[in-house]
Amino acid sequence: MLNYIYPITKPRPIDNEHGVTLNNDQSHGLAVYKLVVADSSDFDALPSICQVTYPDPNNLLRFILTIAPDDGYYRGGSFKFSFDIGQNYPYEPPKVKCTQKIYHPNIDLEGNVCLNILREDWTPVLNLTSIIFGIIFLFASPNPSDPLNKEAAKVLNSNAKTFTTNARQTMAGGTINGVQYDRVLI
């Protein structure tokens, strides 16, 4: 039999700096929100090839990152990624998806992104800017050794010229092996 020395009570409400009483869940949500506000202050230092927009300006936990690479295989394209930050941030990474169907070794046809810091290498010391720079790097240097799109990785490994042709064709909205890709050229 368990004997409790202290009586079990409901969590006490917490007053925030504005005098509003919050329960523990709301307080945690406020902490996540404040952390995201701090993280997003770094967005001003992003390179000019990036733009962050908020579909709902009242919700900083969901935003769209647009990357328009100015060199490499994907030069001339405009690629959009949705970020969905959960209540366990920074202990869990945000959910990041490419919103367009693109031909890339590290992005599958459903928009999932193969970036180690979004999976096993995530730690709470990383932030949103770390993820954004990771995605920029995937466009500058696709990684065929850790692919989500195995077909694109195989072509990149075997023939860079064919990969370049395929990337250009698909960015224009073309079809490769029966798969229609979204037009992303600007």
Residue 68: give the domain boundaries: 14-180
CATH number of the domain enclosing 42 = 3.10.110.10
- For residue 1, is it within any domain? no
Is the C-alpha dihedral spanning 144, 145, 150, 155 positive or negative?
Answer: positive
- 50 catalytic residue (yes or no): no
Query: Total structural domains in the chain?
Result: 1
H or E element in which residue 94 lies: none
- For residue 57, is it within any domain? yes
- For residue 5, is it within any domain? no
Q: How many CB atoms lie within 10 A of CB 176?
A: 16
**Which pLDDT score, from 0 to 100, does residue 27 have?**
56
Q: Which of 32, 36, 113, 114 is catalytic?
A: 114
Q: What is the mean pLDDT of each run of 10 residues along the chain (186 residues)?
A: 40 43 55 94 96 95 98 98 97 98 98 97 97 98 96 98 98 98 98
